[in-house]
A and B are shown apart, each in its own frame.
Chain A
Amino acid sequence: MASTASQRALDYLEGLPGTTFTRLYQQPSTALAIFRRMLPHLAKTIVMAMLYMPEPLTANSLDAWVKPDADSVGVKDRALSILQRLRILEEEGRAYKLAAAFAKSLRMALTGGGNHRSFGVPCSTPDEKPVSVDYLDTFARKQWESILYYVVGSANTELAAAEDISAGTKQLLQKGSFVTIRGRAATITDTGFTFLLQEVNAQIWTLLIVYLEVSSELQMDPVDVLSFLFTLGSLELGTSYATTNLTPTQQQMLDDLTDFGLVYRRTPDSTRYYPTRLATTLTSDAPALPNSSLSSTTTTDITAGAPQTVSQQQNEKGYIIVETNYRLYAYTNSPLLISILSLFSNLQTRYPNLVTAKITKASVLSAINTGISSQQIIAYLTTHAHPVLRHATPILPPTVVDQIRLWQIEGERMTAWKGFLIKDVGSDKDYEKAVQYAEALGVLRKEFRAKGWFFVTRMDQMSGYFKSQNARRRQEAAAAAAAAGQEGGSSAT
């Protein structure tokens, strides 16, 4: 699934060299997490179908399996493209096969067995004072919100002294340019605003990717770091795990992760650690921080069908009501949420449990000037819409949504894309084919048909395509030449 959170992780992973992938895929938990989190749906289906296949799947059989309409073929090409980018699928002539390390690890994840211990080693002895899930949730929320406070607080000075966070986290936030230090006080940047408006899960990934980038500078092995993160995602909430099996790098990570609120340890040298909900939802779509009611539904609760979970899910997010007259009512008393709202709306009245605000052109434009996009505002309002609004489709009043977009478009007449301009493709037919291929991959941005140029956002697969085209042309040319030679020979005799 291509949600924003996993998109971030995907972009990071793609930048890794191939050898890193091979090492990453040694761990079944990593293989499972990447499979579950990063792949589009059809790609998962293809991987599972090939997992127990003794021979490589030929491209022809794959084409025969997928419906021939343009839509499905496009979905298939995109799935294959992501699989190849993540080095899961290898092309062998006209056939595909799964990368050996990945296939082995995924099979092991499904069947169990082996001695990799990548799903976390639970403590053999029970904790004398067991830590409840409620406590873990409160801890995670406190830690994470204090980070957010720090980022927001740099915008609203009256909030700044709310909570203090560790020096390491502060440095990390600067490295990721969420805040910049001006004089002595930290000031929020446009990246910081973007960060604030994301969902909690995406926020964590954003921060963790900065962490990954920093960690390689500190001589920490990114494979170690990544596989520990994926292991955390597969742990069970409310269970304590032993630190004894961890590598030194991972031991070191535990301290930082405790600062973020992903892991709870009673004392910094304790031999057991508890993953919090922030950690266990890393590789899933479940909400990471239950908003109002601190519930005890574990993320592993696959059978969560009891009525009370429904009401929880409704409570978990959703406190904003938007009316067609641009008025906004937010049922909250949290200073954090209120200051986030104030980023793009004019606050009007504050009651003990309710804030009223108005979305105006001035407020939206000031948000856009600080680097927030209309899309982010709308996404934020949608994800946090009150259950009352959720009954209607669309959730938000269309007039408001359109107007917010129009306010942004007013100021922006140009969009810049980074990419590659391809020209001199060859004959019209070749050009047509190449453009179609690019479109199926979803990388085509613009074509200049008259000039025989087109513009794509990614090049790696297009270059592969051109290579194979060239090879085929050469083959055909060779075959034609051979045939011609023979004909010539026969006529001569």
Chain B
Amino acid sequence: MNVVDATDRTEKQDEAEAPSLLTIILDTNPHAWNLLADTLPLSKAVANLLVFINAHLAINHANRVAVLASHSERAEWLYPTPAHSQENGAAKGSHQDGEDVDMGEEGSSAGQGGPVQSPDDANKYRPFAHVEHAILTNLRRLMSTTTPESLSSTPATMIAGALTLALSYISKQSQSQPAANMTSQFNYSDPTSVAGGNELNPSDSSKHHAALGLSSRILILSVSGDLANQYIPIMNAIFACQRLDIPLDILKLAGDTVFLQQAADASGGIYMALDDAQARAGLLQYLMFAYLPDQGAREHLIVPGEGEGVDFRAACFCHRRIVDIGYVCSICLSIFCEPLADGTCLTCGSHLKLSGYGQRPAVVPKKKKKKKRALEAGGMETPGSEGGTPAPA
């Protein structure tokens, strides 16, 4: 029974939801986009992405956005515009870890329209115009500074670098966000304890996520396939996301990226692959329907991709091969595709001993056999092949 009593009125909650920061990593790998040119050219994808960004900004006044380009040999900020990119944007080397973008300064300068000034247009909401203009200008600059030599040197994309940049940006932003908002503080005196009132008011249910400060998520728009050579940094970024509760949403337009699927799975994000041309034509609808809801809304929605099989294969640390079964260092859990040459782990340097590979497990171990290094033990891959193992990369 509902009890109409005076304590009811204390529950009028301010249900303002937490602002959310959306970091988008756009894979701008020219090789991959070239393959997609007839079904979904980059310009069209970017146009769709801009509408998506505006929709995100429209949802809440405090919502923020950051956009990164994961280019073929470097990761680059598209929005907000880094402060020093005008001076040495072109001179930046291929070493993506070396650039230390001073986001503190830059945040304020981009907001006031510092580096890139957008045209005045009475038919466009000004914040949208600022963001769009900055992204397009920076993307154009990125494309014009790409040299043929740098393109031919690598067919891959710098997802790991972009992820790292995104994470550092998110952590900086969430620190600058004032921590507790007052709305969540009201439930200390539970109405039931005051007057024995029975509360059945359903408006109470959604208060718990108001306690969050800034909820962040990352969306990767991926077009490139093979990322095995960046396995370690990607996995580190994924674990960081997992720990920080940042969902990694993946929208894959082309290529086969095992690790990104794992990333979405591990961090609680959404993974979808638009493999055929028809699905790609509906890019905007996919974005608006599946990727726009933030953490608050996802609590109430069934997100796509749940319950699908995830490929959990890993890449080895020595040759970046993707392996089903490998060797794992017992100290640091590094993965290797074949036994190591001198029994020293490439990552942590521990001395490892491998014995009796391929032998059937015996209840009583034969101590004598140990010395013979199991050469004749099994016919398959054995430590005998150690001559072929190259030195650590």
Contacts and interface: CB of A to CB of B under 8 A. Distances in A.
Interface of A: 1-4, 28-29, 32, 35-36, 40-42, 44-45, 48-49, 51-53, 64-67, 71-72, 74-76, 106, 108-122, 234-236, 245, 283-286, 297-310, 313-314, 373, 375, 382-383, 385, 390-391, 393-396, 398, 401-402, 405-406, 408-409, 412-413, 415, 417, 439-440, 442, 444-447, 449
Given A112-B121, A305-B173, A119 B105 contact: no
B292 interface: yes
Given A45-B301, A415-B9, 11 more contacts: A53-B285, A110-B51, A110-B54, A234-B125, A303-B106, A303-B108, A308-B108, A394-B186, A405-B194, A409-B7, A417-B4
A48 B59 contact: yes
**Among A29, A245, A309, residue most surrounded by chain B Cβ atoms (within 10 Å):** A309
Contact of B105 (A285, A306, A375): A306
B92 interface: no
B273 to A, nearest CB: 20
A304 B107 contact: yes
A306 B107 contact: yes
A52 B284 contact: yes
A3 B112 contact: no
Interface string B368-382: 000000000000000
Nearest to B123: A114
Q: Do most interface residues of chain B lie in helix, strand or loop, or is the interface mixed?
A: helix
Contacts of A67: 299-302
B122 A45 contact: no
A52 B289 CA distance: 9
A292 to B, nearest CB: 16
Interface stretch (B29-37, B174-182, B228-236, B350-358): B174-182
Contacts of A72: 299-301
B64 interface: yes
Interface string B303-344: 000000000000000000000000000000000000000000
For the complex of A and B, the 9 pairs showing the least CB-CB separation, nearest first, are A301-B111, A284-B61, A112-B124, A72-B300, A117-B122, A305-B107, A121-B122, A45-B297, A1-B16
B178 A298 contact: no
A36 B59 contact: yes
B127 A302 contact: yes
Contact of A122 (B120, B127, B128): B120
Contacts of A406: 194
A394 B292 CA distance: 33
Contacts of A122: 120, 122
A233 B329 CA distance: 60
Nearest to B124: A112
Interface in B56-98: 57-65, 80
Interface of B: 1-2, 4-10, 12, 14-17, 51, 54-55, 57-65, 80, 103-108, 110-112, 120-132, 172-173, 176-178, 180, 182, 184-186, 188-189, 194-195, 200-203, 205-206, 284-285, 288-289, 292-293, 296-297, 299-302
Contacts of A245: 122
Contacts of A413: 6
Contact of A66 (B127, B189, B202, B300): B300
30 contacts: A28-B125, A36-B59, A41-B59, A41-B297, A45-B293, A51-B288, A67-B299, A108-B123, A109-B58, A110-B128, A111-B54, A112-B121, A117-B123, A119-B124, A283-B61, A286-B61, A298-B111, A298-B112, A302-B65, A302-B130, A306-B104, A307-B176, A382-B182, A394-B186, A395-B180, A395-B182, A401-B189, A415-B5, A439-B202, A442-B201
Contact of A303 (B10, B107, B200, B203): B107
A307 B2 contact: no
B236 to A, nearest CB: 24
A269 to B, nearest CB: 22
